[in-house]
Structure 1
Amino acid sequence: MALLRNRFRVTRVLSDEGGFGRTYLAEDLDKLNERCVIKQLAPKFQDSWALSKAVDLFHKEAQRLQQLGEHSQIPTLLAYFEENNYLYLVQQFIDGQNLLKELQQKRGYSAKEIREILLDLLPVLKFIHERGVIHRDIKPQNIIRRKSDGRLCLIDFGSSKQLTAKVQMPMGTSIGSHGYSAIEQIRDGKAYPASDLFSLGATCFHLLTGTSPFKLWTEHGYAWVQDWQEFLKNPISDELAEVIDKLLEKDVKQRYQSADQVLKDLFPKQTSLVKEANYPTNLQQTQPTLLSRKYTLLRNFFLLGSVVLLLVLGQFFYQQSGRLELSISSSFGKSNQNSNSETITPEPSQVPLQNFYLAKTFKSPDRSVLSIALAPNGKTIVSNSGDTIKMWSLATGQEIYTLKGHTGRVNIIAMTPDGQTLVSGSEDKTIKLWNLARGQEIRTLEEHSNSVNAFAISPDGKTLAIGSDDNTIKLWDLTTGQQIGTLKSHSSWVSAVAFSPDGQTLASGSRDKTIKLWNWAKGKKIRTFTGHSQTVTSIAIAPDGNTLVSGSDDKTIKLWNLDTGEEIRTLHKHSDQVKAIAITPDGYALASGSLDKTIKLWNIDTGEEIHTLKGHDGIQALAFSQDGKTLVSAGLDNTIKVWRVSE
């Protein structure tokens, strides 16, 4: 075949669809011969309706790829054109093997692997469904495991349909694959998000049992879904069986209606309390083992997870951070909004902090990790990596995507309370806002005359306070991107900022050894806290709004009465500079990270040291999960460590 569009050179045939067309592997000459996939529409049938339908589906597939290809687990559309009376669709090549071929080699998947597959694919389905798209042909052949990172990619959107009031084909017409497609899709030509979930359940059944749903459908119709467990070669947990049962419900109304519903049933049952010895300390993490029943209460509190992609239940979450000399810290407060959150804030007695242990270690590719943000749902972590930002799945340890745009090192990151927007500050003197679901830059704020090292987002997610090496704090409206005002009083760079839980006041720490409290809306300083003998590197305000906590290069942590400005107590068991602090969401405990390679957990009310965690060098950032049972730390040793409570 000649060069297409003077750009794409075909190298071999991947598949021949007979009367429909062919799929080729090709090279994109405009991208240094990068491999790509070319689909050619060359229908040989004469029926006018069928021909029109084929052209329409082909065109719709291009539209879907253009709409959805921004997701890292969906191929990107590279080109769509007509040439020599044929239609061509060019898309990103996913280098890997589909799950059907993988199954033929493995001869069956374990229950643990099925959970991993669900964990990886459900956020992808959530992503497409929330954009009004139904795939309609989910099966092992259309799921490819990418060689580079092991992630599962969803391909072949040729049968996909835009979700409207009536997603329905003409009478007697069905789209999908028999055995994998739900009855409403095959019988009535109707499709819903729940239809894709049936297909996902049938796919899991095939991988788990090695038995083809198509073969069962040809012999028994849909009767097999009632007795699917009879085909199991090995027993599985009741929890997983219940999930697959509901995925395979024949009646669409009895089935799961959204990917989120499946995730909610799966995640509490995937929490692992196994010691670190059971986890590889690299990015190719395997899923945790199943909980024994004695941990049922704990796991129901604990929300773990993945990519997601990432539209999160709103819950208050704020982060404050350090200075140019790698001073970063994060802290979290209780939300004033309960909305529809599934997160449960535990009572102090429910979180035995003395039982924290190291559960996972993520290795950053090549740079020190200076700042981290834990999504409000506890399923993803975002971290800096040089001048880029990386999002990771907390469950698998795998990188979801990388954000690029800064020209200097990223010093600080934080999420809005709803988890939908990320804010990053850099040595390039700019602040960037990112859409986390799409992985795209929203806007850039450029007003500081020096490196940006610290900021905080207000509890309502509307205001950003930025501290800089130019000794000022600038306030921005996150909705409009407009600067609101500037606070001036510090005599040296501002190294940390934090909003109060009610959002009315702002605290700032500085290299000038002081902490200042502001009525930021009026631009007025309320008071100054003095007592540290060196730079204040990190600050946090307790959820009750009464106590301010500060960490310093003077190796101490100080607790202050926010109303009076008086020092309550000083904690001084670290042997080196304190670079990060975080408060549990219930306000019961405090974590402090130091260059002495330890993280100390403290009782805020008594000042008593509860526990010391060791093994993390040059700690720069800390973050608690919303239930207080997971602590994430980052440091100069190029790692992110995940600590969990064991009972």
Structure 2
Amino acid sequence: MICCLNPDCQNPLNPNGKKICQTCSTPLVSLLRNRFRVIRVLSDEGGFGRTYLSEDTDKLNEHCVIKQLAPKFQGTWSQKKAMELFAEEAKRLQELGENPQIPTLLAYFEQDGCLYLVQQFINGQNLLKELQQRKGYSAKEVQAILLDLLPILKFIHDRGVIHRDIKPENIIRRKNDGRLNLIDFGSSKQFTNIQNKVGTSIGSHGYSPIEQIRDGKAYPASDLFGLGATCFHLLTGISPFQLWMENGYAWVGNWRQYLRIPLTTELEIVLEKLLKKDIQERYQSADEVIKDLTYKQPLALPPAGQLTRKIPPTQAPDLPIKYTLLKSVVLVSAFILLFGFSETWYQQSRRIYASLAARLNQHNHRPDGEEALGQPPKTALRNIVLSHAIKGHENSVSSVAISPNGQIIASSGDRTIKLWNLATAKQISSLNGHSQQVNIVVISPDGKTLVSGSDDNTIKIWNLATGQQIRTLIGHSDSVHALAISPDGRTLVSGSDDNTIKIWNLATGRQIRTLVGHTFWVRSVAISQDGATLASGGFDKTIKLWNMGNGNPIRTLMGNTQTVTAVAISPDGNTLASASRDRTIKLWNLATGEEILTLVGHSNTVTSVAFSPDGTILASGSRDRTIKLWNLAKGEEILKLAGRSNTITSVTFSPDGKTLVSSSEDNTIKIWQLSQ
């Protein structure tokens, strides 16, 4: 189909090959700037133009967004103002696009009397649509949203930019990793510390503060008000614009009366200060909000490389306690006495006490005889050398898999799958068939079959030797991000953003059953070595264990405070490892579901985990751009591999355990050689 670029056209889609629009008789443009193919209209800008979903033919038809400015009234003040704002938006994206949570500017040009701005397409759903589907958010979820968005606001404010239109429609949750992205900088403006002139009123009523609506002035505190109003909307389900109209074009006097659920004291205090009418009483910077949201939490994450062990509440550790830790215990006890002996505070005190005991349990001895607590272990179990860095994908590499014979690497990225010789790092072939991004690839235990999952909602099965597509499995109604093949090679398991898990006969492609239980996107699956147990993790912060034989649920593991991004099962089938956005890795007893210990060391989301073939080492990749290797017997960090310029998306060991392969959003695959 060819899309008509006349912003007034009522039916812009036309069959291929047409030169003139069948609805409005406007000449059709097959490619803007001989590069961008417009697919369909995303939104109408009220006569000033439209926003279109498009394809970038220079990037393997990757999706992008094109904003069009086509004002009707040439030479008017409104046209001049619209052109100024449009140019400013392009400039802002050019300046701010280095942030991974802000769309990147791809092009800005004029053609046929219209201005066009081309930007990165964020594949996901805005928070307003998400709210309409789920009907509400918990206090913890809103706090997580705040902590995801506040660093973006700090980033733009540090560069002298005010967004001026913070609202749920302009916040998109990206499907591939769940991170929030801030879009639509059409209202953004450069600011100085002193603004004497009255500016143009801009923003969205109900979300914008009084100084912005009445006086046209905007400061970092103005964006923070919009963030507070957004959180109010998510918590109550009530539009601030609706309340703004009902209250005589003013913000409500008591926002708490609309709450559906109780808030934590910390969150209530933060929202109260975000929503202050008087700008002087409001938060002045994102840093101030982050400080109030984080420093009061009862249990902070330990330093990098440190291990937190679970100690039963009945077990009193008999350890020599140093003064500093003894003082911490006393302070905790005083805190409990001050606030009462409720069950909640008792449980929190036990967790804190267990954490302190764990720190004591792993102290190291310095050469001078002094004890050092919380220091990264000096164990040098293995050395590791980077042998190859492969850059063959146009964009982010989402996953890698190694064939059972250790000779081939399969990687997914863009809409393609690439096969590489592991020894030489040379490309063998490129497999094309998916219409959208390929998220995951796995290889069968016999090394004959490759399976891929994609944003096009399909699973494709390939002959690994020939690269020929065998069949396409259709059943999921949303993106496929997780795949696993049973050890006997007969069964395929897939996890999807439609919140379901499907089990397939790999040989025939027949769907066996659908597992329903997760309440949000399923992003990881793993099968035990005996083929009896399936583990799945998702955005609902849970891990679920299933009986592979009949599909019945075994139990749900609830210990993560954020999204479970990856799960893996040890070769002996005894241990489950899970990674999370809460920056931790948890190890569980697969048979009992008991949490064994928590590995803490990454400074951002842990995106992937993999056991070595002998089960002694765990590799983890993270959004902090590092890979860590852990000694599982001691619970120690062995090595940290840095040097990546973006998120690590996956890690995997070769069957002989001598090679580690990782992929990243920096478009590369790295091959590491391990030695004793």
TM-score class, shorter: 0.3 to 0.5
TM-score by length of 2: 0.44
